[in-house]
Amino acid sequence: MATTQECRAALDKLSDNLAGADGGVRSAAALDRSLSCHVTDLGITFTGRLENGRIEVLDTVVGPPPDRAQIRLAMTGDDLVAMVDGRLNFAKAWASGRIRLEAGFRDLLRLRTLL
């Protein structure tokens, strides 16, 4: 099972990947939205912002997200680490229910480039 530190490192790596992307991926990630990532097996939530193509984690809280972020992710820690490392296909995991993504319709349309 992935640790809190490994999950945080995965989010930092994802942020670096988004910041280094170009073309459609970079423009899709150029949203300014609140973000939460609930790691279900650890019972923690990382909260922060997706801003200027980067994820900035502002806090780690115990339990589900305290506030409703504009973009909400939920998955196990192992799935988060595997997704960022490229061992888990996001679209297949999302379609099968292993990963939950909730956002407004327009945000989902923009984020589809990232999937």
Tens of each residue's pLDDT in the chain, 115 residues: 999 999 999 999 998 887 777 766 666 667 899 999 999 999 999 999 998 888 999 999 999 998 999 999 999 999 999 999 999 998 899 999 999 999 999 888 777 666 5
Predicted TM-score of the model (pTM): 0.90
Which pLDDT does position 20 carry in this prediction? Answer: 79
- Using CB atoms within 10 Å of the CB of residue 13, give its burial: 0 to 12 exposed, 13 to 18 middle, 19+ buried: middle
* Interior/surface letters 64-99, b for 16+ CB within 10 angstroms, e for the rest: ebeeebbbbbbbbbbbbbbbbeeebebeebbeeebb
Task: Give how far Cα 9 sits from Cα of 67, 84, 92, Å.
Answer: 23, 10, 23
* Amino acid identity, position 65: P
CA-wise closest residue to 50 among 74, 70, 79: 70
